């Protein structure tokens, strides 16, 4: 974990279903962001792209962090936005698909926060964003979304995004939730995360919910999302495929009728 103290940044979240977070920087403050999330910036903000926001790790250390980010579905590069002017300035970042932006005060998460891959949006300078491998055998072999995760550490603000509506649960010691694997957004490090087989022959073959549950055991905070991007993409693909088939069927029927008239 980086020992740098995070910048103290101000923010506001705008929008409802397609949200953006606007970060207000004092002079010399910096916010780091995943490449491709930038929306706009006001006068005084400069942008610099690099492999890492931590200049103390050296070339090979930064190279390893960049390679780790690629495994989590993020970009090889990270972008730094610094207020180089003499007045407060804004820089904004947009969520990539419909859902909510979750602000995280990382100082309240002892040991850091574990998030699903590709959910990171931006954070105050001083935040360490690294790859996190789940060590449980079940999640490693069968978990899919749950095997390669991200870990955010620091004492400032970080922001992640989720699909649909966000549900926060606080689990008591020993309390367990079983969740669709794609619906887990993130959790604090005190939460035990594993993958469990659904069980039952009919459930496995005909349940339509997949073969595996994510199991989350407290204590700790857990964030869930109602619309994982993979589920949204599958629904869109299904509609597009059905629409094309209907058009082709209608075209064939119309052509047959016209041919009969001839």
- pLDDT, tens digit (0-9, with 9 covering 90-100), for 29-55: 999 998 889 999 999 999 998 655 555
pLDDT of residue 196: 78
The residue among 150, 188, 133, 129 whose CA lies nearest residue 2 is 129
Number of other CB atoms surrounding residue 232 within 10 Å: 15
Could you tell me how many residues make up the chain? 262
Burial class (CB in 10 A: 0-12, 13-18, 19+), 82: buried
Q: What is the rounded distance in angstroms from the CA atom of residue 151 to the CA atom of residue 194?
A: 16
pLDDT of residue 237: 79
The segments of the chain whose pLDDT lies below 70 read 1-4, 50-76, 133-147, 198-211, 243-262
Q: Give the pLDDT confidence of 127-160 residue by residue, as tens digits.
A: 998 887 665 544 444 444 455 788 999 999 999 9
pLDDT of residue 81: 97
pLDDT of residue 78: 83
Beta carbons of 4 and 52 less than 8 angstroms apart: no
pLDDT of residue 230: 74
pLDDT of residue 239: 79
pLDDT of residue 248: 52
DSSP 211-243: SEEEEEESSEEEEEESS-HHHHHHHHHHHHHHH
The residue among 65, 150, 157, 69 whose CA lies nearest residue 109 is 157
For the chain, list the domains and their CATH numbers: 10-165 (3.60.160.10)
């Amino acid at each position: 974990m980086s020992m740098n103290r995070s910048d103290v940044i101000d923010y506001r979240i705008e929008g409802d279903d397609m949200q953006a977070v606007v970060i207000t920087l004092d002079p010399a403050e910096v916010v780091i962001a995943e490449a491709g999330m930038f929306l706009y910036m006001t006068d005084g903000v400069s942008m610099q792209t690099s492999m890492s926001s931590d200049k103390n790790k050296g070339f090979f250390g930064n190279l390893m962090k960049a390679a780790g980010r690629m495994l989590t579905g993020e970009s090889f590069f990270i972008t730094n936005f610094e207020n180089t002017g003499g007045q407060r300035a804004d820089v904004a970042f947009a969520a990539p698909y419909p859902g909510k932006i979750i602000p995280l005060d990382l100082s309240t998460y002892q040991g850091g926060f574990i998030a699903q891959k590709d959910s990171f949006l931006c954070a105050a300078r001083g935040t360490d964003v690294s790859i996190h491998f789940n060590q449980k055998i079940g999640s490693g072999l069968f978990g899919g979304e749950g095997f390669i995760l991200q870990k955010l550490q620091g004492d400032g603000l970080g922001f992640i995004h989720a699909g649909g509506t966000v549900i926060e649960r606080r689990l008591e010691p020993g309390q367990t939730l079983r969740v669709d694997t794609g619906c887990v957004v993130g959790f604090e490090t005190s939460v035990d995360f594993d993958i469990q087989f659904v069980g039952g022959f009919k459930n496995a073959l005909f349940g339509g919910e997949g073969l595996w549950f994510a199991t989350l055991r407290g204590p700790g905070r857990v964030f869930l999302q109602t619309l994982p991007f993979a589920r949204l993409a599958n629904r869109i693909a299904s509609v597009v495929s059905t629409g094309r088939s209907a058009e082709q069927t209608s075209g064939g029927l119309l052509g047959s009728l016209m041919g009969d008239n001839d």
